[in-house]
Amino acid sequence: MDILSELGAFAFASRLKRLSDRLKSEATTIYHHQGADFNDSWFLVGYMLSKFESMTVSEMAQALGISRPAISQIAGDMVKQNLIRVRIDGSDRRRKRLSLTNKGMDAVKTLEPVWDIVGECTEKLLASTGCDILKALSHIEAELEKQSIFSRVVNKLNNTNGAEASGV
């Protein structure tokens, strides 16, 4: 029995979360299998810092479309593992600038070929569905930018309540 599947669109976000959790857990297992003490929840920060020598929390949050508190939490975990360092930005003391430590650079060097293979395997998995899932996700994201689920539901509730109030 798979309640989330049975619930259909109603549980869409929960199914995406379940799938995300599974893929992230498996990626972390792959990293450990390759000898890297790295958690997949750190992937985006590690990847971005491997491409851009240093970034502020705000720059990274904006580039990834993730909240600053989420980036700060990930960064804090990575600092504890000595994978990144945080420095106060010289031009603006309120901003924190992130960069990889030597240990972080070594981890990225170990993981870059793994990331490539994970990407290839994921592409094959997505292709096996017979539909362009990434295009569909982009479309959903674009539609949500136009009108949030909150707005859609509230409009529907207001229309339903209005119809009930008028006796329709």
Q: How confident is the model at residue 165 (pLDDT cuts 50, 70, 90)?
A: low
**105 occurs within a structural domain:** yes
Closest CA to 96 of 65, 77, 78, 71: 71
pTM of the complete model: 0.80
**Which residue in the block uniquely carries the two structure tokens 């209005």?**
162
Q: Is 99 within 8 Å of 54 (Cβ atoms)? A: yes
More confident residue, 112 or 163: 112
Give the domain CATH number at 69.
Answer: 1.10.10.10
Answer whether residue 44 is part of any domain.
yes
Which residue range forms the structural domain that includes residue 85? 3-130
For residues 89-111, give the mean pLDDT. 88
Residue type, 127: A
| Cβ proximity of 42 and 83 under 8 Å | yes
> Could you tell me how far CA 88 lies from the centroid of its own chain?
25
Number of structural domains found in the chain? 1
Give pLDDT tens digits for 22-57: 999 999 999 999 988 899 999 999 999 999 989 999
Spatial separation of the C-alpha atoms in residues 113 and 104, rounded to whole Å: 15
